């Protein structure tokens, strides 16, 4: 039976693009993809560009995401951004637990879990990132690593909350390296993630939740991933920065 899950393609711009550059990007992609159907398209710019893009994206089907959020409602957390600050600007998605945040900003499974809960409480869809590093892959630990990350990230949720989340499987060794997991292998890991979700929340939730692959995805390769039964989209870094390349990604995605 074909999946009923709508594909979701998210652009993670990381620390790229000023506000002026972000607006220029949207001007170039809005017409070619701004009214495409049967695909969820999310742009996650730096925080500084969110308010401007919120205006540029209104009236299109391009949705706004953020790259991080704090779990507290408010408080003495210098440099941090709360869920309400994001929702006020029309942000609908937030990336949580990206491997770069885990590696460089001390994000742990425990803080990821608190962020997931805070996001869902504010009706922000968390894009929960999991994935193994090269040493873990070579030691045959991929399944156990992603399973443990999922169990901890989604801990304490009930099924109706969990199924709102999106999961992104991003093997760390494939991020920004030009090296990517084969589509079949990425699907095996995504299937394992889905089975883990089924064991936590039941089959209905597992069948509803969308799981993306991320790691050196390009317009030429995205279809290979999306044709896999357990891969419902892509979280894209480098190839999402150029407007033409981004349009190419979305066009390919809707041919799933
Ligand atoms: O980290 C990623 C998206 O979150 C993937 O980045 P690249 O697509 O540049 O490999």
For residues 41-70, give the mean pLDDT: 96
Res 5 pLDDT > 60: yes
Cα separation, 18 vs 10, in Å, equals 19
Q: Residue 126, exposed/middle/buried by CB under 10 A (0-12, 13-18, 19+)?
A: buried
CB 96 within 8 A of CB 115: yes
For ligand 1, atom 7: residue with the closest CA: 237
In sequence order, what are the residues at sequence separation of 6 or more whose Cβ sits closer than 8 angstroms to the Cβ of residue 115?
69, 70, 71, 94, 96, 97, 126
User: Strands 166-169 and 125-130, how do they pair?
Assistant: parallel
| Beta strands 125-130 and 91-96, pairing class | parallel
Contact 227, 184 (CB under 8 A): no
Amino acid 60: pLDDT: 93
- The rounded distance, in Å, linking the Cα atoms of 19 and 29 is 16
Q: Report the first-to-last Cα separation within the chain, whole angstroms.
A: 14
Please name the fold of domain 8-253.
TIM Barrel (3.20.20)
Report pTM: 0.97
Share of residues in the chain with pLDDT > 90 (%): 92
Residue 2 pLDDT class (50, 70, 90 cuts)? low
Residue 237 annotated as binding site: yes
Q: How far is the CA of 200 from the centre of ligand 1 (A)?
A: 28
The residue whose CA has the least distance to atom 8 of ligand 1 is 237
Residue 197: strand, helix, or coil: helix
Q: How high is the mean pLDDT of the chain?
A: 96
Binned at pLDDT 50, 70 and 90, residue 172 comes out as very high
220, pLDDT greater than 70: yes
Pocket-testing residue among 8, 171, 175, ligand 1, by greatest number of atoms within 8 A of Cβ: 175
Q: pLDDT tens digit string along 87-132? A: 999 999 999 999 999 999 999 999 999 999 999 999 999 999 999 9
215 Rama class: left (phi>0) / alpha (psi -120 to 50) / beta: left
Report d(CA 190, CA 27) in Å as an integer: 34
Mean pLDDT to the nearest integer, 198-210: 98
Delimit the domains of the chain by residue range. Answer: 8-253
Continuous H helices in the chain:
19-33, 47-57, 83-87, 99-104, 109-121, 134-138, 142-153, 159-162, 183-201, 203-208, 222-226, 243-253
CA–CA separation, 11 and 187 (whole Å): 20
Q: DSSP label at 124?
A: P
Q: In the chain, what percentage of residues exceed pLDDT 70?
A: 98
Q: What is the CA radius of gyration of the chain?
A: 17
11 and 240 in contact (C-beta within 8 Å)?
Answer: yes
pLDDT grade for 133, boundaries at 50, 70 and 90 = very high
Query: Does ligand 1 come within 6 angstroms of the Cβ of 236?
Result: yes
Report CA 168 to chain centroid distance, whole Å: 5
Three-state secondary-structure class, residue 226: helix
Choosing from 98, 107, 163, 192, the catalytic residue is 98
């Amino acid at each position: 039976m074909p999946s009923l899950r709508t594909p979701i393609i998210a652009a993670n711009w990381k620390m790229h693009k000023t506000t002026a550059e972000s607006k220029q990007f949207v001007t170039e992609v809005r017409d070619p993809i701004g009214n495409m159907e049967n695909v969820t398209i999310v742009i996650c710019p730096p925080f500084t560009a969110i308010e401007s893009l919120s205006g540029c994206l209104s009236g299109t089907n391009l949705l706004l995401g953020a790259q991080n959020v704090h779990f507290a409602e408010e408080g003495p957390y210098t440099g941090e951004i709360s869920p309400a600050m994001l929702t006020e600007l029309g942000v609908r998605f937030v990336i949580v637990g990206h491997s770069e945040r885990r590696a460089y900003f001390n994000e742990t499974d425990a803080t990821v879990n608190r962020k997931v809960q805070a996001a869902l409480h504010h009706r922000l869809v968390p894009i929960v990132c999991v994935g193994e590093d090269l040493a873990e892959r070579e030691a045959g630990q991929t399944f156990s690593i992603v399973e443990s990350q999922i169990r901890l990230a989604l801990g304490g949720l009930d099924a109706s909350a969990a199924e709102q989340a999106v999961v992104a499987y991003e093997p760390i060794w494939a991020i920004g390296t030009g090296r990517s997991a084969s589509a079949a292998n990425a699907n095996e890991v995504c299937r394992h993630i889905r089975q883990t979700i089924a064991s936590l929340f039941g089959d209905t939730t597992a069948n509803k939740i969308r799981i993306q692959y991320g790691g050196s995805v390009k317009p030429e390769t995205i279809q290979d991933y999306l044709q896999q039964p357990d891969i419902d989209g892509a979280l894209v870094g480098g190839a999402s920065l150029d407007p033409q390349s981004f349009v190419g990604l979305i066009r390919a995605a809707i041919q799933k």
